[in-house]
Structure 1
C-alpha cells in the first residue's frame, strides 16, 4: 500500500514496468493501491510471515525455558544437536541456496519446525528423548536453509536507502509471531501458579500455526520475477554447478577477508539466549510468569527493531556515521544491561534456584521484568546491526547468500557450545560472564568494518571465468547519480 514506510514514491522510480502477468498486477481497494506480488517489499512481508509462523513459534516455545518442559535436560540436548547441525550446514547453506534457490530453501526449511514441535508434544507423553533430539538435529539442517534464504531476501531485495527499514520491518513481523506465540501459553496456563510444563493444547496450537507457515512459503516468487522498489529487476547471477559454487565459497573467503572481522559478532549473536531463557526466565519464575515475561520480551524486540531500522536509514547522516553511532549505542548498552544482569545473578545459583518460584504478584518482580525487557531490546538491535552491516558491504545477492550462510553457521556453532554448557550444569555466573565477554569483544572486533569499511553506497558487478572472481567497485558518485 502507498505509505511513508518505506516511501516508494513515483519520483524515485527510474524504470517503468508494465504489468503483463498476474503477479505484476497491483490491486486497488478504495483509495489504497496495493503493491503487486512481485514487489520486493511484498516478498519481504511474505518471508516475514513465514518466519512469524515457523521460527516465531519456535522462539515462543524457547522463551518459556526448556521449550515449556519443567526439566530442560532433554531440550538442552536437542538444542545442542540443533545448533551442531545448523552450524555444519549453515556455513555451506549459501552455496546450497545458490544452487536450489531461495524458494526451495524457504519451503524445505519450514518443514523442520513442524517436526520439532510435534516431537515436543510426543515427549510430553512418552518421554522419548531420542526422537526429540533427532528432531532438533533435523531442525538444524532445515533452519540453516530457511534463514539463509531469509537473509538473501532481506539484504538484497531493498535498495540501499531502505535496507535498515526492511530489516526493521522483517524483525518486527517475525517477533510478532513470538509475541502471539507467547500469548498462547499465557492464556492457557494463567491459572497455574507453580512451576510446571505447558499443556498439550499449547504444543498442538503451535504445530497448526507452523503448518500454516509451510503453506505460505509456497507463495514466494523466484527472485527473477521480483523488482526493487525503484522498479528495477533484482539482479540474479545464473546458477552454476555444485563444484563451481564450492569454489566460489573459497574465493569469496579469500577475496573478501574483511568479513572475518564480523565472525566474532556472528558467534556471539545467539549465545545470550541460553542465559536469558533457561538461566534467568526458567530458573526464577513459575509457568504463567515465564509466559508473561516471554510476551514482554518479544514485544519490546519489535519496538527495538522498528526504532533501529528507522534511525539507521536516516539520510541526514552519512552511512558510516550511522554505523559508528549505532556501534557506540550497542557497546554502551552491552555494559549497562549486562552489568545489571550481573547484579541480579549474585542473588541465586543452580542450587538456590530450586527454592525460587517467583510470581508476577511479588514485590521484587518488577526489577527482574524490566531487565528481561531490556534483554529483548538488546537482542533486536544487536541482531539487526549484524544484518545491516552485511547488507552495507555488498548488494550482490549471490555473495549475500554466502555471507548469510557464514552468519547462521557461525552463530549456530556458538549456540551449540553454550547450550551444551548449560546441559552440563555450568554455573549460571560462568554462562553470564561468557555472554558478557563475548558480546563486548565481538563489538571491538567489528570496529574495522563499522568505522572504516562502510561507505555511502556499494555498487558491485560480478564477473567470473573458470579461474577467477573479479569484483569491480563502481564509483560512488556515479552510483548515486543513477539513483542507488
Structure 2
C-alpha cells in the first residue's frame, strides 16, 4: 500500500514540477507579450515587412481556440492517454515561446491557434491524470500540491524578467532574445520531465479511461464518440451549469492578472522609468499569492475542511473585491489601453499596485484549488470530460476578456469582474452545499 501511495505522490510531484517549468515559460512569456510586441512593432515599423501582431489579439486567439478545442480534447486524451497528451501539449508550448525569437505576424497567429489546441489537450490530460492518482481522501491534498508547484512558474519566470528588464524603458531585440531563449530552454526541460511520469498505481491509465467508457475493447473511434456524449450529458446537469458561472469568472480574472494588470502597471506614467521593471515584481507577487494559497488550502490545509470548502471560496471572493477597489483608486482608467498620466483617486503607489498583485494571485488560488477539488470528487468517473468542460468555459471567458481588454478602460473591466465574481462565488456555494448533503464533500478528511 505504501508503494501505491508513493507512486501516486511521485506522479503528482513530478507532474507539478514539469508544469512549473513549461508554464514558467508560457505564463511569463504571456504576461510580458503585450508589452514586448508593442516594442517589436516600433522596432519594425519602417521595415519592408513590419510586424503588426498584438499581444492581446494573440492571447484572445489562444483562449478562443482553447475553448472550442476542449470539445475534442477529452476524446483525444481518451485515445492517447493522459501522459502522452501532456507531452504533446508541452511540445507545442515550447514551439510557441520559441517563435518570439524571430517574431513574424503570420507565425504569431499560427502558433497561437496551435497553442489553443495544445492547451485543451494538456489541461484535460492533467486533470485526468491528477484524478487517476488521487482518492476522495487525497484529492484536496494533491490538487493543492500540484497548484503550489505549478504556480512557482510565476515566481521564477518573473524573477528572470525583473533581472533582465531592470532599468530598461524599451525591450530591445537583444533583451528579447535572451529572455525568450531562456524561456524556450525552460519549456523544453519541462517537456522532457513529463517522460518520467509512471502509470497510475494499480491501473493502466489508458485502461482506466477505457473502463470509464464501457470496457477495454472499445475502439478509439467509439471511445471518442462516447467521450463527447459524456461531456454533453455532464454539461446539462444542474451542478455543472451552476459551476459554469464559477468557471467563467476564473477565466475573466485569469485574463486580468496574466495579461492586463502587468500592462496597466507599465502604462502608469507616474511610475516613471521603473514601470517596466515593476512587471517582473508584479508577476513574482502574483505567483507568491498563488503558491501561498495552494499550500494553505492543499498540503497544509487539512483543518480547512472542518469549516467547509465554500469558506475558502468566500475568502477568495472577499480578497478579490478589496483588490479591485484598490486597483480602481490607484491606477489610471486608461492604463489597460495606453500610457496614461490621467489623475487617479490617490497618488499612484507602486506598493499598493504590488500588494494588489499578491492579492490577485491569492484570491485566484482560493477559487481554482476548490474547483479542482470539487470536480475531482464529484466527477471522478468522468474526470476527463469534467475538466475539459471547466477549461472550455474558462478559456472562452478568457478569450472574451482579452478581446474587450483592447477597448474597455479600467472601471468597466473591474465592474465586469465584480459582477461575475459575485455570481461565480454564489454558484459555487450552492453546488458545495448540495454536494455536502449528498457526499459529505465539504468535510472530506485529508490524509496528509
- Aligning the two structures, in what range does the TM-score lie when normalised by the shorter sequence? 0.7 to 0.9
Q: Give the aligned partner of residue 336 of structure 1.
A: 322
Instruction: Provide the alpha-carbon RMSD of the alignment.
Output: 3.2
Q: Does 1:246 align with 2:228?
A: no
458 and 325 in structure 1: CA distance in 2 versus 1, 3 angstrom threshold: closer
User: Are the counterparts in 1 of residues 63 and 396 from structure 2 also a CA contact under 8 Å?
Assistant: yes
Count of residue pairs the alignment pairs up: 410
SS of equivalent residue, structure 2 residue 303: coil
1:90-129 matches, cutoff 5 A: 90-123=70-103, 128-129=104-105
SS of equivalent residue, structure 2 residue 374: helix
User: Are the counterparts in 1 of residues 124 and 388 from structure 2 also a CA contact under 8 Å?
Assistant: yes
* TM, length-normalised to structure 1: 0.76
User: Are the counterparts in 1 of residues 15 and 194 from structure 2 also a CA contact under 8 Å?
Assistant: yes
Q: Does 1:82 align with 2:71?
A: no
| Counterpart selection for 1:174 from 115, 131, 150 | 150
Q: Does 1:290 align with 2:279?
A: yes
Q: Give the aligned partner of residue 403 of structure 1.
A: 386
SS of equivalent residue, structure 1 residue 261: helix
1:52-71 matches, cutoff 5 A: 52-64=20-32, 66=34, 68-70=36-38
Q: Does 1:442 align with 2:424?
A: yes
Deviation at 1:308, TM superposition (A): 1.5
Gaps of 5+ in 1: 1-12, 18-23, 25-34, 460-478
- 1:370-392 deviation digits (Å, cap 9, x = unpaired): 11110111111111121111122
CA–CA separation in structure 2 for the residues paired with 1:294 and 1:82: 20
Q: Give the aligned partner of residue 8 of structure 2.
A: 40
User: Are the counterparts in 2 of residues 78 and 135 from structure 1 also a CA contact under 8 Å?
Assistant: no
Q: Does 1:452 align with 2:434?
A: yes
CA–CA separation in structure 2 for the residues paired with 1:109 and 1:279: 25
Q: Does 1:306 align with 2:295?
A: yes
- 1:22-51 deviation digits (Å, cap 9, x = unpaired): xx8xxxxxxxxxx86xx0110111211221
CA–CA separation in structure 2 for the residues paired with 1:235 and 1:354: 51
324 and 177 in structure 1: CA distance in 2 versus 1, 3 angstrom threshold: closer
User: Are the counterparts in 2 of residues 284 and 353 from structure 1 also a CA contact under 8 Å?
Assistant: no
| Counterpart selection for 2:107 from 131, 141, 164 | 131
Gaps of 5+ in 2: 42-52, 267-274
Q: Give the aligned partner of residue 219 of structure 1.
A: 196
316 and 447 in structure 1: CA distance in 2 versus 1, 3 angstrom threshold: closer
| Counterpart selection for 2:395 from 409, 412, 423 | 412
| Counterpart selection for 2:354 from 356, 369, 373 | 369
65 and 439 in structure 1: CA distance in 2 versus 1, 3 angstrom threshold: farther
Deviation at 1:252, TM superposition (A): 5.4
195 and 373 in structure 1: CA distance in 2 versus 1, 3 angstrom threshold: farther
Q: Give the aligned partner of residue 185 of structure 1.
A: 161
* TM, length-normalised to structure 2: 0.82
Please identify, of 216-225 and 99-108, the stretch whose mean Cα deviation from structure 2 is larger: 216-225
201 and 57 in structure 1: CA distance in 2 versus 1, 3 angstrom threshold: same
CA–CA separation in structure 2 for the residues paired with 1:328 and 1:47: 29
User: Are the counterparts in 1 of residues 260 and 336 from structure 2 also a CA contact under 8 Å?
Assistant: no
417 and 311 in structure 1: CA distance in 2 versus 1, 3 angstrom threshold: same
Deviation at 1:204, TM superposition (A): 0.2
User: Are the counterparts in 1 of residues 75 and 228 from structure 2 also a CA contact under 8 Å?
Assistant: yes
CA–CA separation in structure 2 for the residues paired with 1:82 and 1:353: 23
Q: Give the aligned partner of residue 45 of structure 2.
A: none
User: Are the counterparts in 1 of residues 139 and 373 from structure 2 also a CA contact under 8 Å?
Assistant: yes
SS of equivalent residue, structure 2 residue 99: helix
CA–CA separation in structure 1 for the residues paired with 2:283 and 2:310: 31
The structure with the largest alpha-carbon Rg is 1
User: Are the counterparts in 2 of residues 70 and 195 from structure 1 also a CA contact under 8 Å?
Assistant: no
CA–CA separation in structure 2 for the residues paired with 1:150 and 1:53: 15
Q: Give the aligned partner of residue 468 of structure 1.
A: none
CA–CA separation in structure 2 for the residues paired with 1:160 and 1:66: 41
Please identify, of 67-76 and 446-455, the stretch whose mean Cα deviation from structure 2 is larger: 67-76
Deviation at 1:324, TM superposition (A): 3.0
272 and 65 in structure 1: CA distance in 2 versus 1, 3 angstrom threshold: farther
1:350-369 matches, cutoff 5 A: 350=335, 354-356=339-341, 364-369=349-354
User: Are the counterparts in 2 of residues 269 and 383 from structure 1 also a CA contact under 8 Å?
Assistant: yes
Q: Which has more helix, going by share of residues?
A: 2
